[in-house]
Structure 1
Amino acid sequence: MPNSFRLLAQDILALGEAGDIPSALEKLHEGIQTLPQDPHSTFLAGCLYERFRDWPQARSFYLQSLHMNVHAPRIWHRLGIVCLEAGDLDGAERALKVAIQQKPSEAPYYIDLSLVQARRGLFDDALENAVTGDALFPDHVPAINNIAHALQCLGRSEESLPYYDRAIALAPENGVCRFGRAVSLLKTGNFDAGWREYEWRWRCCQTPRTDLTVPQWEGEDLSGKTILVHHEQGYGDTLQFIRFVPLLKARGATVVVQVPIPLVRLLERVEGIDQIVSVLDPALHLDLHCPMVGLPFRLKMTPSTAPGCPYLSVPAEEQIREGGALRQSLTENMAQPDLIVGLVWNGDPRAHDPVATQVDRRRSVPLEKLAPLMEVDGIRFVSFQLGMPKNQIAETGLPVTDVTDGIIDFADTAARLYGVDLLISVDTSIVHLAGGLGLPVWMISRSDACWRWGETATTTSWYPSMRIFRQPRSGDWETPVAEIAGMLR
């Protein structure tokens, strides 16, 4: 074993570069046993653990180093990055602010702080720090991209586009910038360019499938061809874009659709689907494939030209059995309410994806924030909320009845929605379900709204039965809730 930890670190990095991560980590763990207790060695150990994405160990050694030398902006910076990667946004912001305080001339500190603040929904602060970083380090792509992203999240997508263009001119193959530009184009209604740029998601935030050997469909003739259309992203995306499948059938294709099991029973009733599966049979003959969200680009569709609603359906007998039973259960032995309203206040946290987790935190509203709705007379509120957030009903004591017992998939939820007069929900899959069924839905949108809802509109061509209530700023649920309460009265 090399005598100095620095030489040992070189061996460890060489093993890592060769792809032998287990041996690199084993050698690192051994070397730590004789690690010199000085700030440089502990910092180097932290860097090695960060290199191998062991965030707790990296954080521990950075803190040890700072304990011996608190005036070390570079170490505070690395601590901030590790906290960011571990999902500790508060810790990341604190560490990066210390780094800036100790060395205010370092552009990367501001740039990384702006990223952390954007994740937290502090978009004004994120913009300010990104602008400072850009001034200190002109033509640095991450700074320019952070400016564009902050503007986009502030509902200023038109202003963001020149910054995205500037970043892309410097780095044409940067998938993050290209995808960000796609979102701004879509939010401003430029769907022709937006759909094309949205294909960069495969170079940014999504992993292409590697199990398919047939070519991807790019809009060519489908006559006599069998095409696989497959789920990507979340349930809501598939519920929104399944409407395009009948257009493939009309072009002469045999259409196979692959979606997760919770969607199968509902979507098997969609017109134009010849076969729907959750697991693909390797023996199934296919000529082409297409990711679900790629359909409107290849079909040259916009919200105003897309197939209308309803395109999802529930058999009449299930509407009566599930929806009717729900309504009857709420009116037995009590006065008939003027309105029965369904509620959903949380999305899917997607714990495996830190970025998606932060988006979910911004789009989800604590049930207690909906309390003003309960003050409106003549309304019975029922919950379609799934998962742990449904526990908030008992925790808050609010008069909300859980009606999710026995729901196993989207077909069950769809049938039960016929038992309510209105659904009020945050931006999650059930709004697409209600909208696709043509049922009334009021959506509470976070301030940095998803691209599909634009930036200011209260209605959408995607779902004519939907009304949108928007946060004026991140964290402000009081404003849209008060607006909804006023509409209910």
Structure 2
Amino acid sequence: MSKDGAVGASMTPLATDPFSSAANQFTARLRAAVSLDDAGRRGDALEALQEAETLLPDRPESAFLLGGLYERFQYWGKATVFYRKALQSKPEVPRVWHRLGIVHLHAGDLPDALQALEEAVSQAPDVPDYATDLSMVLSRLGRFEEAWGLVRIALALRPGDLHALNNAGHILQCLNRSAEAVEFYDAALLQSPSHPVIRFGRAAALLKAGSFSEGWQEYEWRWQSSRTVRTDIEAPVWEGEDLQGKTILVHHEQGYGDTLHFIRLASLLVARGACVVVQVPVPLVRLMERVDGVDRVFSVVPSEEHFDYHCPMMSLPARLGLESDVVGAVSYLSVPEDEIIRQGNALRCLAQGNPARPDFIVGLVWGGDPRPHDPRATQTDRRRSIALESLAPLFSVEGLRFVSFQMGIPRHQIETTGLPLIDGTDDILDFQDTGARLYGVDLLITVDTSIAHLAGGLGLPVWMLSRADACWRWGESGTQTGWYPTMRIFRQHRSGDWDSVLEDVRVALDRLMAVYRSCQEKSAPT
């Protein structure tokens, strides 16, 4: 260094080294991206990251840093690219495998998430975070017993870990051990009493265990966990105030099935003196207009409408203090008689064989809504849905004719299976049309989707095929449910095993047809 403090000749090579300059610029661009993002300038932050890509040094650590920032910005594809680049020259780094697995998980790519997290656990079996996150992926794949084993390892390594306790609660609920699940959620809440995700998970476990009163109160934590409170309604949210002479707007939330399930509670609001107005999506409007106690139904609420209160559909059970799954009239949904005659009879004529010895007509639905925009919902749908070809054993039962009520993407499976299945969905516009056509079949067999609630609410016979990690509303065991007396539940005993369920259904159909033919013979003229 010179006497005036300037850099001497010995430092010149470092100052002009292109690698060093690029590395410094790369680091500067990463820091700039973080600063810009902290300042709320996400677009500028992303531009800084793109500039950093052009300056990326040939070091795995640099690729890992860049991947980490893309993960922060939720650019899962980019994060994956740079995490994998970091592993190319240095694959024995478990933390990189861990982050790669988490990115795949966020992107909804469970197989790759599983592979990456298994590698992380294999390389570092003593790190509890890796085992905890692997347990989460296994549970989303429906491999609940394996997930339970991993989360127990995580808790042995770090007793009392908040995330591991939460995972344990979720996994036990999926294993239909909901009372035990509540214990783990409670242990987690000792550390974080207002953690919304844990509180919401606890709610589902309580409801599944049949603790309805407490479960419905906990269910309100969904507003902090995964739902957004509406702000476009001027009226206050109903918290249980006197409804005598008041008008309350009850509005749809979550899926079609939830509204079909809980619109029954409108009659309880009327019993408290309320005028009930309902807002639902267009496919539900005509059906909701016929529900006892509902005064008016809108898909879009007119601006001139006035309400004293409003309430989300799924908050009604808590406000009304429901303590049971036996609520209201058995058939609280209905369709016009003329539509039953027009659509139901037309479908029966289409499906019927020999009128002198009529066959038994069965409606089928094998797939739910995959919701590709929601990775969690998509993963659940994969566990609840069945490939149509897997239903082939049911077609071996003599005397049955099958009609498809399947909508959406799974409907296209009809063309490829070659099964003798009539498509009964042509020109269906809404749930009222579907309901009218259900009167044209003798039995509906469906996976756990909205049409199960439609048939149950109409008081029609329905056999529902439930995944092993059944929805909380169906409880943990048994073939009956208080929600729908005309429903019979066929449950998976092991996650992913639809073959044994369908064999149970086939045997039940065989027995049903024996009774049906016997009744036909007794009633035949001599």
Confirm or deny: 8 A CA contact 1:244 1:307 kept in the other structure.
yes
- The answer on 1:368 being equivalent to 2:389 is yes
Structure 2 residue aligned with 1:464: 485
Matches within 5 A, 1:3-402: 3-331=24-352, 336-402=357-423
Q: Which 10-residue stretch deviates more, 26-35 or 39-48?
A: 26-35
**AA partner of residue 436 (structure 1):** G
1:334 Cα deviation after fit: 7.6
CA distance in 1, matches of 2:300, 2:121: 51
Helix, strand or coil for the counterpart of 2:242?
A: coil
Write the deviation string for residues 112-148 of structure 1: whole angstroms up to 9, x where unpaired: 1011111100101111111111111222111011111
Q: Indicate yes or no: 2:488 matched with 1:450.
A: no
Structure whose alpha-carbon radius of gyration is higher: 2
Separation in structure 2 between the aligned mates of residue 388 and residue 265 of structure 1, nearest angstrom: 25
- Give the corresponding residue for 1:473: 494
**Once structures 1 and 2 are overlaid, which stretch shifts more, 75-84 or 158-167?**
158-167
Rounded Cα–Cα distance in structure 2 between residues aligned with 1:164 and 1:331: 53
Contact 1:246-1:272 within 8 A present in 2 as well: yes
Report the counterpart of residue 427 of structure 1 in structure 2.
448
For 1:449 and 1:333, the matched residues in 2 are separated by 39
Deviates more, 1:61-70 or 1:211-220: 211-220
Change (3 A) 1:64 1:304: closer
Question: d(CA) in 2 for partners of 1:398 and 1:301?
Answer: 44
Using the aligned pairs only, state the percent identity. Answer: 57
Contact 1:337 1:379 in 2 (8 A): no
Cα offset, 1:335, TM superposition:
7.0
TM-score by length of 1: 0.98
Q: Distance in 1 between matches of 2:270 and 2:498?
A: 43
Tell me the CA shift for residue 160 of structure 1: 1.2
**Equivalent position SS for 2:28:** helix
Quick one: distance in 2 between partners of 1:178 and 1:299?
Answer: 20
1:246-291 Cα deviation digits (max 9, x unpaired):
2212212221100000000111111111211011223321221101
CA positional deviation for 1:59: 0.2
Letter in 1 for 2:469: D
Counterpart of 1:412, as a letter, is: D
Deviations along 1:156-203, one digit per CA (max 9) or x if unpaired, are 111111111101111111111111111111111111111111111111
- Rounded to whole Å, the distance in 1 between the matches of 2:348 and 2:324 is 34
Moved over 3 A (4+): 1-4, 302-305, 332-337
Distance 1:209 1:432 in 2: 25
Change beyond 3 A, Cα 1:248–1:334: closer
Unaligned 5+ runs, structure 2: 1-21, 511-526
What is the count of residue pairs matched by the alignment?
A: 489
